Homo-oligomer: A and B are copies of this chain.
Amino acid sequence: MFSTDELCSLRWDPIGKVVEVIDQTLLPHTLRWCCLDSPAAFCRAISTMQVRGAPLIGITAAFGLATALTEDASDENLERASAALLATRPTAANLRWALEQITCEVQPLEPSRRASVALRKALALREEDVVNCERIGINGLQLLSALNKDTLNIMTHCNAGWLATVQWGTALAPIYKAHAHGMSVHVWVSETRPRNQGTNLTAWELHRAGVPCTIVTDNSCGQLIRQRKVDCVIVGSDRTAANGDVCNKVGTYLKALAARASNIPFYVALPESTIDWTCVSGEQIPIEHRDEAEVLSIGGLNSSGGYGELKLAAAHSKALNPAFDVTPADLVAALITEHGNFDACEKGLQRLRSLTSDQKPM
Enumerate chain A interface residues (CB-CB to B < 8 A).
28-29, 191-194, 196, 199-200, 203-204, 207, 213-224, 226, 249-251, 253-254, 257-258, 261, 287, 295-303, 308-314, 316-322, 325-326
A199 to chain B, nearest CB (A): 5
Q: Enumerate 20 A-B pairs (CB-CB under 8 Å) in ascending A order.
A: A28-B313, A193-B193, A194-B219, A207-B314, A213-B318, A214-B319, A215-B296, A216-B320, A217-B218, A219-B325, A220-B250, A222-B253, A222-B254, A223-B253, A223-B287, A223-B322, A223-B326, A224-B320, A257-B257, A298-B298
From known contacts A28-B314, A218-B193, infer whether A223 and B325 are also in contact, taking CB-CB under 8 Å: yes
A222 to B301, CA, bound (A): 30
Checking B299, B308, B317 against A203 with a beta-carbon cut-off of 8 angstroms, the contacting residue is B317
Checking B222, B310, B322 against A300 with a beta-carbon cut-off of 8 angstroms, the contacting residue is B310
Write out the residue numbers on chain B whose beta carbons fall within 8 Å of the beta carbon of A213. 318
Q: Which residue of chain B has its CB nearest to the CB of A282?
A: B226
Write out the residue numbers on chain B whose beta carbons fall within 8 Å of the beta carbon of A223. 250, 253, 287, 322, 325-326
Asked if A191 contacts B310 (CB within 8 A), the reply is no
A266 to chain B, nearest CB (A): 13
A358 to chain B, nearest CB (A): 36
Beyond A215-B295, A219-B254, A254-B258, 19 additional contacts (C-beta under 8 Å) are A28-B317, A29-B311, A191-B295, A199-B313, A215-B296, A215-B313, A217-B321, A218-B219, A219-B250, A220-B325, A223-B253, A223-B322, A223-B326, A224-B320, A224-B322, A226-B326, A300-B310, A300-B312, A302-B311
Asked if B250 contacts A325 (CB within 8 A), the reply is no
A223 to B282, CA, bound (A): 12
Write out the residue numbers on chain B whose beta carbons fall within 8 Å of the beta carbon of A295. 191, 199, 215-217
Q: Which residue of chain B has its CB nearest to the CB of A203?
A: B317
Write out the residue numbers on chain B whose beta carbons fall within 8 Å of the beta carbon of A296. 199, 215
Write out the residue numbers on chain B whose beta carbons fall within 8 Å of the beta carbon of A194. 217, 219
